[in-house]
Amino acid sequence: MKTDMMSRDVDTTYRSPHATAHALRLNLLAVYLFLYAPILLLVVFSFNASRVSAVWRGFTLEWYGKLLRDRDLWNACWNSLVVAGAATVVATTIGTLAALALERYRFPGRTTFTSVLYLTVIAPEIIMAISLLLFYARIQLELGLLTIIIAHVAFNISFVTLVVQARLRDFDWRLTEAAMDLGATPASTFFRVTLPLIFPGVLGGALLAFTLSIDDFVITFFTAGPRATTLPLRVYSMVKFGVTPEINALSTLLLLNSIVLVLLSLKAQRYGK
């Protein structure tokens, strides 16, 4: 009898890891369904022939055609690209240099500066938006695309710095020292040695900054002027009249844009390895 009990215990112990793994797979599947089922539904109904999103009337590309003919929407899209492009270039440049300074040198206030970077990341957007609006009002700067770009640079610098810093953790600084010992100037060492080695991190930070900038609504809403409508602001004005398949089509295109950026980021990381 003891032998039978021991055999059951051993059998239960042997099978429990498989049961746990099966439960974890089901849990993972449930999480993915919870996260992505609404997005998949949005994509499907962007091809719905009915104007009412809750009722399926057949397949159509009419709403994508409407998007192509919407001049106001394309103006908003152009403004978003201008803002995101300019903010990404400036934030990536400043963030990369800041990351190099934080990882390469030890100076007074270094810990405080790093803490301030994290504070910008975790602080609620509404606080940053109101503070920027008050700052612009104080210096009497007219709201427009320039104020949006400055605001986006302000919150993107932290993200770029942290991403590049992560890349620099494993960087061998002896390579730069060897290059300078061989006669290379500091500028030549940076562009021919340092930058190529950390480029995947720089590109990852730039893609993250571009994505955050082109999707931002709260900070943009507070810092945009009446003639500076970006894509998120345009979508917000469209949603006021109800969620139509046209908005679903626009959301699908934005989702496709995000997927492309993620794939580029993953490819850059593989290239870096």
For 3-44, the pLDDT digits (tens) are 554 455 545 544 566 778 788 888 888 888 888 888 888 888
Tokens matching residue 238: 């469209």
For the entire predicted model, the pTM comes to: 0.77
CB 207 within 8 A of CB 265: yes
Supply the Cα-derived Rg of the chain in whole angstroms: 25
| Residue linked to tokens 């934080």 | 102
pLDDT value, residue 92: 94
Sorted by sequence, the CB contacts under 8 Å of residue 221 that are 6+ apart come out as 129, 233, 236
Instruction: Report the CATH superfamily, name and number, of domain 63-272.
Output: MetI-like (1.10.3720.10)
List the domain boundaries for the chain: 1-45, 63-272
For 147-162, the pLDDT digits (tens) are 999 999 999 999 999 8
Mean pLDDT over the full length of the chain: 82
